[in-house]
């Protein structure tokens, strides 16, 4: 890969209905909404915001941004 290529900081946006608001436990794993995989935080955040706002009437529904790049390379220093 050329040195000029932008660094990929992969992010996954997922969501679903939670068992309760005290824990991040999905009520039904078969119904977890996999919104998508994004190359940077900005695009993941935009997708997260759109999904979160579309489900605002359901208090049990939550969406999350998973920082996959941190799981793939746990020794990587966080971007500042």
According to DSSP, the residues that pair with 69 across neighbouring strands are: none
Contacts of 70 (CB under 8 A, 6+ apart): 76, 78
This prediction has a pTM of 0.80
pLDDT of res. 39: 93
> What b/e readout covers 40-60, taking b as 16+ CB neighbours within 10 angstroms?
eeeebeebbeebeeebeeeee
pLDDT of res. 2: 55
Query: What tens digit of pLDDT does each residue of 8-50 get?
Result: 789 999 999 999 989 999 999 999 999 999 999 999 999 999 9
pLDDT of res. 60: 94
**Residue 72 confidence class, pLDDT cut points 50, 70, 90:** confident
pLDDT of res. 70: 84
* Domains of the chain, each with CATH number or no CATH: 1-22+37-73 (3.30.70.2400)
């Amino acid at each position: 890969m050329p040195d000029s290529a932008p660094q990929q900081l992969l992010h996954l946006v997922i969501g679903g209905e939670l068992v309760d608001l005290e824990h991040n436990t999905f009520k039904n794993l078969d119904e977890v909404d996999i919104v998508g995989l994004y190359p940077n935080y900005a695009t993941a955040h935009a997708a997260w915001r759109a999904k979160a706002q579309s489900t605002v009437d359901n208090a049990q529904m939550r969406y999350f941004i998973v920082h996959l790049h941190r799981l793939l390379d746990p020794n990587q220093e966080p971007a500042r």
